[in-house]
Every structure is written in structure tokens, then in C-alpha cells.
């Protein structure tokens, strides 16, 4: 829509919702982007060509989907809401767009078809689990919109308030680059906080997959208690790593003779760099064997 007489993205969105009797539920993460400039900016960040297969999670009525389809070889569009999905299917048909594979399902449960880029305004309530799921797939880059606070945690520095399991998990898997902020005024219904767009670029496998899986378990266990000492955090969340008995684990941890490792166990979780968590996970894995 480039002509001065063309309706705005805001009007188009509101008209489609009204015509179909749809009331958005922001508790389900249904915040639709109505700022055309930001939409175009997000798509441009993806540098899409006719070679690209783009995955989009939480398509809504197709604000991104339709424009992505015009640039990409194919779009894999996943939308859980059946009514919204039907509206998008009709829009695609009306615009003679036939390179969108529309999947009406829960993105956390479905296996993704092959793709090489991800571009999504993600439903906020699944930000964490869907990001972890992306890490199990090979892709070239992801342009993703999150709540601003979540985006800040993705690049959280060790020891800061933003440092989290998310920061530590992404550290070995992706480079995280902040791209732009998006005001809450750019959505309907208006969310309570602003959003940010980030680019994830996968790193070459820095550690073997089996070691990363162990690292992942230890990271999850540790960050359940980010302000506790490492030893206590691991004891309290031992079930995430294995089914070892609490008394057995305590006895083994107390019996560690490696002074360097023993010193680590006295530190607090939040001051551990990802490399240090990896070191601990490698050294302590045998301790957690039942």
C-alpha cells in the first residue's frame, strides 16, 4: 500500500477483525502489528530472496506473511487459532498467493518443515520455549520480535540482572544482535511494554551435541536458583539432571578433591560465565550418575 489514498495497515487490520467478529486476546499473545514502517523494516532485516524458505510463528491475519510470501520462495506459516487461520487462508486465496504452507497447530508441538530463515512477531507467552526449540534446527538467521525485557535477557551479561538461563543457552548457539525497538503504540491491542527486534545468527558447533545437552540440563538446574550457591542449586534441582538420591549427591559433592572444582561450588550461580558452567557440567556429569 504505497498510494496516499491507500488505507493504513491499522485500518486494514481493524476492518478485517471487525468484519470477522474477532476480538483479540492479549493474554494469548495476540498483539497485532499495525505500523507499516516497522513491518517493512522487520522484513527488510531478513534480506529475503527467492531462494529462501521462511518460517513464521504466530501469523495472525498475515501482516508479515503476505509480504514475506511476495519475496520468498516459500513461507511456512504456523497459527494456532483456527478462526484466525481461516481468515489468513481466505486472504491468501483472494491475493492469489500460493507459496504459503499454512499450518493450524501449536508451534511448540509440531515438527517444523525444512526452512532456512525465521521471521516472526512471536506470541509473547511462548517466547522462551519457542526460542529453545529453534536451537534444535539448522537455519541461516532469525529476525524475531520479543518483549523488550526478554530481548535484553537474551544478551544478558554475567552477573547482571539480565543474565539468565536464556543468555547462557544462546551463548554457545547464536550471536544475538539488537536491531530496533518497537513502541507499544505499534500494536493492537496495545501491550503494556515496548518490544525489540533481534537477529539470531547460529554459530558453528562450538561443542559436541552430547556435551551441549549435558550443559543444557546443568544450566536449567542452576538457573532455577540463580542467587544460590552452585552446590545448593544443584542439590535442589538435581531431578533435572538425573534421578540421583539427595543424600548420595550431597555426599559425593562434599567428597570432591579437585580444589578448583570445589571452589566453584561455593560461588553463586549468577556470577558463572557460560564457559564455567560448561566446565562444571563436564566435571560433575559422572557425579550425577545413579
Q: Are residues 24 and 147 in the same domain?
A: yes
Stated as kind and residue range, the H or E segment containing 33 is strand 32-33
Q: Are residues 195 and 215 in the same domain?
A: no
Q: Which of 187, 202, 217 is at the close of a domain?
A: 202
Task: Report pLDDT for 5.
Answer: 55
Cell readout for 80 is: 494456532
What is the strand order of the sheet 174-182 is part of? 100-103, 74-78, 53-57, 117-121, 141-147, 195-202, 174-182
pLDDT greater at residue 4 or residue 136? 136
Distance CA 226, CA 271 (A): 9
Residue 2 placed within a domain: no
Task: Report pLDDT for 30.
Answer: 76
Q: Which of 202, 219, 238 is at the close of a domain?
A: 202
Task: Report pLDDT for 290.
Answer: 74
Average pLDDT of the segment spanning 43-62: 97
Question: Which has the closest alpha carbon to 88: 67, 60, 110, 107?
Answer: 60
Task: Report pLDDT for 27.
Answer: 67
Task: Report pLDDT for 270.
Answer: 95
The pLDDT tens digits of the residues spanning 194-249 come to: 999 999 999 987 788 899 999 999 999 999 999 999 999 999 999 999 999 999 99
Instruction: Record the pTM.
Output: 0.89
Task: Report pLDDT for 3.
Answer: 46
SS3 208: coil
CA dist 290 to 40, 99, 102, Å? 54, 51, 46
What is the domain-level CATH number for residue 258? 1.10.8.100
174, β-bridge pairs: 202
Distance CA 232, CA 116 (A): 41
Per the structure, the complete domain to which residue 215 belongs is given by 209-288
Residue 3 placed within a domain: no
The model's confidence at residue 26, banded by pLDDT at 50, 70 and 90, is low
Distance CA 219, CA 208 (A): 16
Q: Which of 170, 202, 234 is at the close of a domain?
A: 202
DSSP single-letter state for residue 155: T
SS3 68: helix
Task: Report pLDDT for 192.
Answer: 87
Residue 281 placed within a domain: yes
Q: In sequence order, which ranges of 175-271 are alpha helices (DSSP H)?
A: 209-223, 230-236, 238-241, 246-254, 259-264
- CB-based contact 260:280 (threshold 8 Å): no
Average pLDDT of the segment spanning 77-93: 95
Split into its structural domains, the chain has a count of 2
Average pLDDT of the segment spanning 51-74: 97
Average pLDDT of the segment spanning 134-139: 93
The model's confidence at residue 28, banded by pLDDT at 50, 70 and 90, is low
Q: Other CB atoms closer than 10 Å to residue 169's CB: what's the count? A: 23
Cell readout for 33 is: 502489528
The chain-wide mean pLDDT, for the chain, equals 93
Task: Report pLDDT for 2.
Answer: 45
Question: Which has the closest alpha carbon to 77: 91, 93, 62, 97?
Answer: 62
Q: Are residues 198 and 213 in the same domain?
A: no
Amino acid at each position: 500500500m504505497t498510494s496516499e489514498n491507500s488505507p493504513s495497515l491499522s485500518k486494514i487490520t481493524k476492518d478485517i477483525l471487525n468484519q470477522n467478529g474477532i476480538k483479540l486476546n492479549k493474554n494469548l499473545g495476540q498483539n497485532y502489528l499495525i505500523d507499516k514502517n516497522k513491518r517493512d523494516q522487520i522484513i527488510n532485516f531478513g534480506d529475503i530472496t527467492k531462494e529462501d524458505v521462511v518460517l513464521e510463528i504466530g501469523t495472525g491475519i498475515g501482516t508479515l506473511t503476505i509480504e514475506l510470501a511476495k519475496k520468498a520462495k516459500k513461507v511456512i506459516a504456523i497459527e494456532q487459532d483456527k478462526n484466525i487461520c481461516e481468515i489468513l487462508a481466505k486472504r491468501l486465496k483472494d491475493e492469489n498467493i500460493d507459496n504459503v504452507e499454512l499450518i493450524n497447530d501449536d508451534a511448540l508441538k509440531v515438527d517444523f518443515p525444512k526452512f532456512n530463515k525465521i521471521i516472526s512477531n512471536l506470541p509473547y507467552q511462548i517466547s522462551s520455549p519457542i526460542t529453545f526449540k529453534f536451537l534444535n534446527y539448522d537455519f541461516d538467521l532469525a529476525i524475531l520480535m520479543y518483549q523488550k525485557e526478554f530481548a535484553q535477557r537474551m544478551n544478558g551479561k554475567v552477573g547482571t540482572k539480565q543474565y539468565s538461563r536464556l543468555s547462557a543457552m544462546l551463548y554457545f548457539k547464536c550471536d544475538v544482535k539488537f536491531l530496533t525497538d518497537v513502541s507499544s503504540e505499534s500494536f493492537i491491542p496495545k501491550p503494556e511494554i515496548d518490544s525489540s527486534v533481534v537477529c539470531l545468527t547460529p554459530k558453528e558447533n562450538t561443542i559436541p551435541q552430547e556435551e551441549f545437552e549435558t550443559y543444557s540440563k546443568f544450566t536449567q538446574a542452576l538457573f532455577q536458583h540463580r542467587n544460590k550457591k552452585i552446590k545448593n542449586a544443584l542439590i535442589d534441582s538435581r531431578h533435572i539432571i538425573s534421578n540421583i538420591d539427595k543424600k548420595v549427591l550431597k555426599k559425593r559433592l562434599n567428597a570432591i578433591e579437585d580444589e578448583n572444582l570445589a571452589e566453584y561450588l561455593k560461588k553463586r550461580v549468577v556470577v558463572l560465565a557460560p564457559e564455567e558452567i560448561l566446565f562444571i557440567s563436564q566435571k560433575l556429569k559422572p557425579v550425577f550418575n545413579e
